[in-house]
């Protein structure tokens, strides 16, 4: 009894639609066989096991498509060669060939098409070589089943390819976020630590303030990294505890943090400030953040900077300029590349380069589309 129950549980665990299809094909073929009488070359009863061998394995077509196709093709080919009454059993061959074409590599499915089609062609010629119409129709159905299965496979592969490209884009976005957070935080911490070391003995209070800035920047960077990694892990339970992504409204705080780090930064706002979409706001903040990081790295110790936000009806512009040494012949790394990628993803652009009279300018134009 336990064996019976295990078999029934296993049976239910398979796809019920395939079992239903197998049973319908088997019953329909047996009904046609019973109505057809014994007009064939052999008694009709001989066709019963052939029908069952051809149709019932369809229930396993997803797990063992090649085996199902082989059993259905061989059994139905013998059935046709014996000139038994034609019925739905031939549909099992088409289902098996479709499944192989839809789930197996193209080379394997082509081989299956040639073997199955060749075997059925021989069987049709043996069964009734004068019925040219049935032979042509049978071969056309075989090719059609294979073609539909191949199209299903190609569509699935294209869908999987789109998913993989989307995942790659998401990984790139996460890497860019981490780069911006780490680069900005570490740059501020290095500058503040150097300032603390310089004035440690001469001005302990100033050194303590610099060390406090290092601590605050480190905590903020760790908080942003936890937010990014929390999104990466899909930690829904922590979503309420994670800080929201920064936006344009956080740029004044970014400017203040750079002032605390020893960079003379001024903020200018033109136009009427308004709420921006989360993607546009985050991109504006990250571009300003990365540009100020480059100021600290490349502009020199006495350089000053200016951040300008300009609001237009259909876009926002972010300018970060300095009067320092510019890139000074150094490789700016992935920072400018990341800025351009962010802007281009929104349909905007970033211009960056030295300005006449010295210094460096980064100008980002961010259109407001559906996100805004």
- CATH classification at residue 251: 3.30.565.10
Indicate whether 333 pLDDT > 70.
Answer: no
What is residue 126's predicted lDDT score, i.e. its pLDDT?
Answer: 84
State the average pLDDT over residues 303-315. Answer: 90
* Interval 29-68: pLDDT, tens: 888 888 765 555 667 778 888 889 988 888 888 888 899 9
Answer yes or no: is 99 within a domain. Answer: yes
pLDDT on residue 30? 87
pLDDT, position 200: 72
Instruction: Tell me what percent of the residues of the chain surpass a pLDDT of 90.
Output: 10
Q: Is 196 domain-assigned?
A: no
In a domain, 35, yes or no: yes
Q: Measured between alpha carbons, how far is residue 99 from residues 21, 102, 231 in Å?
A: 14, 5, 38
Q: What's the pTM? A: 0.49
Look at residue 372 in the predicted model and tell me its pLDDT: 44
The average confidence (pLDDT) of the chain is 79
Interval 138-194: pLDDT, tens: 889 989 989 998 888 888 888 777 877 776 776 676 667 666 666 666 666 777 677
> Which of 115, 130, 145 delimits the end of a domain?
130
Helix axis angle, 16-36 to 47-55, nearest 10°: 160
Position 241 confidence tier, pLDDT thresholds 50, 70, 90: very low
Residues 107-136 have a mean pLDDT of 85
Which of 95, 130, 165 represents a domain boundary (last residue)? 130
Where does the pLDDT of residue 308 fall: very low under 50, low under 70, confident under 90, or very high at 90 and above?
Answer: very high
Reported confidence tier of residue 329, pLDDT bands at 50, 70, 90 = very low
Q: Phi and psi at residue 62, in whole multiples of 5°?
A: -75, -35
Please check the confidence at residue 254 and state whether its pLDDT lies above 80. Answer: yes
Which residues span the domain enclosing 253? Answer: 247-372
- The residue from 79, 103, 130 where one domain ends is 130
Q: For the chain, what is the domain count?
A: 2
């Amino acid at each position: 009894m336990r064996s019976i129950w295990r078999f029934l549980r296993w049976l239910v665990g398979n796809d019920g639609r395939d079992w239903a299809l197998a049973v319908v094909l088997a019953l329909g073929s047996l009904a046609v066989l019973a109505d057809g009488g014994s007009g064939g070359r052999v008694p009709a009863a001989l066709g019963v096991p052939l029908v069952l061998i051809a149709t019932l394995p369809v229930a396993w077509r997803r797990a063992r498509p090649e085996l199902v196709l082989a059993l259905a093709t061989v059994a139905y080919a013998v059935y046709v060669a014996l000139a038994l009454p034609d019925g739905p059993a031939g549909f099992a061959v088409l289902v098996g060939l479709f499944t192989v074409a839809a789930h197996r590599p193209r080379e394997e499915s082509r081989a299956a098409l040639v073997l199955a089609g060749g075997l059925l062609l021989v069987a049709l010629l043996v069964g009734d070589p004068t019925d040219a119409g049935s032979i042509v129709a049978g071969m056309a159905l075989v090719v059609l089943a294979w073609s539909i299965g191949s199209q299903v496979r190609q569509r699935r592969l294209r869908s999987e390819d789109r998913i993989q490209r989307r995942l790659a884009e998401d990984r790139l976005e996460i890497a860019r976020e981490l780069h911006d957070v780490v680069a900005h935080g570490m740059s501020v911490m290095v500058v503040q630590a150097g300032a603390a070391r310089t004035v440690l003995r001469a001005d302990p209070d100033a050194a303590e303030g610099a060390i406090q800035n290092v601590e605050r920047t480190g905590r903020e960077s760790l908080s942003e990294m936890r937010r990014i990694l929390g999104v990466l892990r899909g930690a829904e339970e922590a979503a309420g505890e994670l800080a929201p992504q920064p936006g344009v409204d956080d740029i004044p705080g970014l400017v203040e943090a750079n002032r605390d780090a020893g960079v003379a930064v001024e903020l200018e706002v033109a136009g009427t400030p308004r709420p921006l979409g989360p993607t546009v706001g985050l991109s504006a903040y990250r571009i300003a953040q990365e540009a100020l990081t480059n100021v600290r790295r490349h502009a020199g110790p006495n350089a000053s900077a200016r951040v300008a936000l300009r609001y237009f009806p259909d876009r926002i512009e972010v300018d970060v300029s300095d009067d320092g040494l510019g890139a000074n012949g150094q490789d700016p790394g992935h920072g400018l590349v990341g800025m351009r990628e962010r802007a281009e993803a929104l349909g905007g652009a970033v211009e960056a380069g030295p300005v006449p009279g010295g210094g460096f300018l980064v100008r980002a134009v961010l259109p407001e589309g559906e996100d805004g």
